[in-house]
Structure 1
């Protein structure tokens, strides 16, 4: 519309200018002809400028001194002053607590030139990302009373106990009784002292298999839900190939059989001579290994020297069983003399110098309780592998990769029996369970767990991490969700999902749990406080001096100038016509 108006005015004024100029040229009295023509053009041009918006580029300065307060869960109403007029929130509950606050749909509506103050527990990690590095001043609320940190083993085998651990922040002057319940029955409890932060540990033994939800509660309120999945025991068949009847093989054999695995152990006595043991499995001749023998097992655990010493026929049968039939293979690196297909993805580095002392190791992201002598060797990372066990300094001690239809786990640890000698069953169980679970045939292995970057809550974006063979979308609750492949591990993927309801969710036969927003309120607050304080420190507002913001803008030319020019031109033409000039 604006463009059409410009064309119309310009066309009319051009026609007027031509017509008036022609009239002046035809005039008999040629006195001051060129001055009159100039005056006519000035008058018509002034008229056009009055009718049209005439602007020019300029610079405008304005101050970024407006204070905006963002209210989040946990804010103190008394901390808001009457003079604070610009108060906003994204939470309806916070709006009800402070009716003067303006409700906004998202943090994208905040003006980046304003001085932002955040009150309360702060924001989630995904909400902080929406601020796009916008600085703010954080006014944290006090951490609430309740469970600030909690963890448990959510995937159990039948007969395994549930362990719940955490920290309770008791801000009251009274002792608190914390109760672990399941199926409306109290299973374990602990009394926590007043006015202190206390760690706690509770346990129970689920009697059934399947999905179930336990809970932690105090005398006054339920703290949160504890979803677990208990699977029936499916004993795996394990073939152990040992270079000698050493302590590592002995304790591993005992642990496997004690946990219901069927085990066949072949140890080298001398060249061409073996000692064989069979527990929970029928005996067979293990002197010559074949494809038929390998197909009877789910996992082969072998010393690298033994596997490299197999005959060509045995090595071919083992490779075929792994790549074509999905056999799992765990390789213990007792030597690095020969490089074969077993070690192609796992180059080993032997550091020089003094051998490090015993230290804790990281198993699937969790630090071991006990210390372990892991030696000088470590695995060099390669794309397509997934580290399973690391040192505290990041050196890889165990890793796995997919080889055809099967998986190969490679480890440089050869002294885990020392944990058992010291009675440290928990770390031993965690390490060997992780290695076997990641190696075993898919038909009999425990299902891959779905991992989360943060606990999933209703109404918040959930980042899921999982493994699968194909880069195809996944189905979550009958809804197709796109996935993103990991740049380093080809079989690992992530997906983002917005759960609409709490409770168990279904993802192509796998189940995971979404918490209600009322679950673990204190833990949610602790997570927000930590994330927001970290963000605020790295995005500080520099100084208290008000900044002047320079902006390029379009400035309108005042119409008064064109009125003056029009009046002057018309006056000249009138005076000249009257012969007064």
Structure 2
């Protein structure tokens, strides 16, 4: 009927309405006649409306810009509106398989060529080098939730022999089960910690490397490898130690012998009377140490002395010693004793010696690692904690050794004067650990690394890698024997930035003239949660600096003809016919 001209449809329906109305009037039973006539008119009118092409005019905003969407790892499919006005893209083949409506791109340059006004990025986002390819395109970022797993991890990339490897980080456990984090080396578990379900927990794992060189440990979550932990363990260069003692004693004797047997170069000066000294030399040629001078002190890395010996120095020696610490980086280890003289060496160290019964032998915590061998009589003297000091040894809540920065050097202060008791009891490990920590903290820092490398983000195989390099000269740089062109910092003369890439994971080599440095490239499937966190942060920074500045979207208001929905007329026709049928049945 809709193909017929409207006037024919209207005429036919008018005739039908008239005939049906006359038939209703001629019926003998006049009950509900008015309602039957209304039902007839409604039924015929609804039929006419169904047949007629009824339309109405309206204004609609026609958007001239299609929404451009880029899907990245971690996106939520329910958050993406897939309509005719949305163009969906991805760079990931796995996402293309999971979301077939997305168009797979070969590169981000295809998006910049499309010149979309705003790019909507869903998921974890893009890495820094990928964001730089967007050519300042405005971005609206719709990040995924916080990644599950190891979201951050830090450790010292370089250690000296004897130092402990400390791996610290944060694990986000979104599961309902406990997760066991295990630090492994050579397929052997070295330390572990358990993370509770539905929790974000800081963790700390440690071990002491048994070898030197380029080492690689691993972090596992239960049985799943999370990532490699590369460490460069460097042998310790023999330190030069000057020992000053006010009188002979067991503590001085045992320390001198231990230092000599462990390769330290030792010069020892012991007072026997006023201005008269006994001197000894181990692993070091004899020299005049009867008077402290700048040239003499410059030959040593650390001075170890009891407080009496150090406070008895004349004014000239005291001045020279202080200048070497402040300006030359010399370190001093001070052993507290009964002297009541005050010295600049005590600045920042407050000693408390409460009266009463002497403290019982205690286990000593050394550099946050509890002694496992033997207890030690510590006496009642202890250091009062100061914000400017770093605790090195303690017994319970009592600080027994601490370090403080003094100019370019460090002063270490300890109240222990009987550590030789460890050696007498056979606890050589505790003795070595204690003095290694104190000497390591105090000793003059020698910069024996002409090249220092750091990274803004995790260096991953197959991706551009940005190396921040500190070097002392402008010789040519090469990565794995391939030349690179570094860019020098405008503000820091020895800082350079170089871009590189490698297709092999593991240790890599950076060469600057005759100097070498090693760095590690990770497989792409390691530290996935850290990579996700880096992408989220980088994309947020980019989106904040490249927002969509258009306040009103480009749209056109246009008058359009809209079809009236037929469903309403079908309902009216059905209702009118149902009423007439029921009425007819009732009258029979």
Q: Distance in 2 between matches of 1:267 and 1:495?
A: 54
Residue pair 2:450, 2:472 contacting (<8 A) in 1 also: no
Residue pair 1:66, 1:114 contacting (<8 A) in 2 also: no
Q: Distance in 2 between matches of 1:483 and 1:432?
A: 38
- Match of 1:507, SS? strand
The match for 1:164 among 164, 167, 178 is: 167
* Residues 548-580 of structure 1, C-alpha deviations (whole Å, 9 max, x = no match): 89xxxxxxxxxxxxxxxxxxxxxxxxxxxxxxx
Look up the match of 1:210.
213
Residue pair 1:180, 1:202 contacting (<8 A) in 2 also: yes
Report deviation, 1:81: 2.8
Q: Distance in 1 between matches of 2:110 and 2:271?
A: 68
Map 1:59-74; keep pairs closer than 5 Å: 65-74=65-74
- Match of 1:439, SS? coil
Report deviation, 1:225: 0.9
Look up the match of 2:80.
80
Q: Distance in 1 between matches of 2:226 and 2:77?
A: 25
Report deviation, 1:71: 1.3
Residues 488 and 273 (structure 1 numbering): CA distance in 2 closer, same or farther, change over 3 Å? Answer: farther
RMSD between aligned alpha carbons?
4.9
- Please tell me whether residue 479 in structure 1 is matched to residue 494 in structure 2: no
- Give the number of equivalent residue pairs: 393
The match for 1:373 among 388, 403, 424 is: 388
Residue pair 2:412, 2:442 contacting (<8 A) in 1 also: no
Residue pair 1:223, 1:519 contacting (<8 A) in 2 also: yes
Report deviation, 1:171: 0.5
Map 1:139-158; keep pairs closer than 5 Å: 139-158=142-161
Residue pair 2:185, 2:216 contacting (<8 A) in 1 also: yes
The match for 1:512 among 516, 519, 528 is: 519
The match for 2:547 among 505, 522, 540 is: 540
Residues 257 and 496 (structure 1 numbering): CA distance in 2 closer, same or farther, change over 3 Å? Answer: farther
- Please tell me whether residue 411 in structure 1 is matched to residue 411 in structure 2: no
Residue pair 1:372, 1:415 contacting (<8 A) in 2 also: no
Look up the match of 1:527.
534
Map 1:328-339; keep pairs closer than 5 Å: 329-330=328-329
Report deviation, 1:122: 1.1
Q: Distance in 1 between matches of 2:213 and 2:176?
A: 41
* Residues 290-331 of structure 1, C-alpha deviations (whole Å, 9 max, x = no match): 999689x4758899x969977xxxx9xx9xxxxxxxxx9426
Report deviation, 1:173: 0.6
- Please tell me whether residue 262 in structure 1 is matched to residue 265 in structure 2: yes
Residue pair 2:302, 2:442 contacting (<8 A) in 1 also: no
- Match of 1:65, SS? coil
User: TM-score w.r.t. structure 2 length?
Assistant: 0.55
Segments of 5+ residues of structure 1 without an aligned counterpart are 1-61, 319-327, 334-354, 359-369, 375-396, 399-409, 550-581
Residues 277 and 498 (structure 1 numbering): CA distance in 2 closer, same or farther, change over 3 Å? Answer: same
Report deviation, 1:227: 1.1
Residues 236 and 331 (structure 1 numbering): CA distance in 2 closer, same or farther, change over 3 Å? Answer: closer
- Match of 1:177, SS? strand
Residue pair 1:331, 1:411 contacting (<8 A) in 2 also: no
Residues 464 and 70 (structure 1 numbering): CA distance in 2 closer, same or farther, change over 3 Å? Answer: same
Segments of 5+ residues of structure 2 without an aligned counterpart are 1-61, 305-309, 333-346, 351-384, 390-403, 418-431, 557-588
Residue pair 2:410, 2:442 contacting (<8 A) in 1 also: no
Q: Distance in 2 between matches of 1:137 and 1:202?
A: 39
Residues 474 and 511 (structure 1 numbering): CA distance in 2 closer, same or farther, change over 3 Å? Answer: same
Residues 431 and 536 (structure 1 numbering): CA distance in 2 closer, same or farther, change over 3 Å? Answer: farther
Q: Distance in 1 between matches of 2:168 and 2:528?
A: 17
Residue pair 2:478, 2:510 contacting (<8 A) in 1 also: yes
Residue pair 2:171, 2:202 contacting (<8 A) in 1 also: yes
Residues 447 and 435 (structure 1 numbering): CA distance in 2 closer, same or farther, change over 3 Å? Answer: farther
Residues 527 and 104 (structure 1 numbering): CA distance in 2 closer, same or farther, change over 3 Å? Answer: same
Q: Distance in 1 between matches of 2:303 and 2:490?
A: 30
Look up the match of 2:44.
none
Q: Distance in 2 between matches of 1:473 and 1:431?
A: 40
Residue pair 1:300, 1:330 contacting (<8 A) in 2 also: no
Q: Distance in 2 between matches of 1:520 and 1:185?
A: 20
Residues 524 and 418 (structure 1 numbering): CA distance in 2 closer, same or farther, change over 3 Å? Answer: farther
- Match of 2:329, SS? strand
Q: Distance in 1 between matches of 2:71 and 2:415?
A: 51
Look up the match of 2:50.
none
Q: Distance in 1 between matches of 2:131 and 2:276?
A: 65
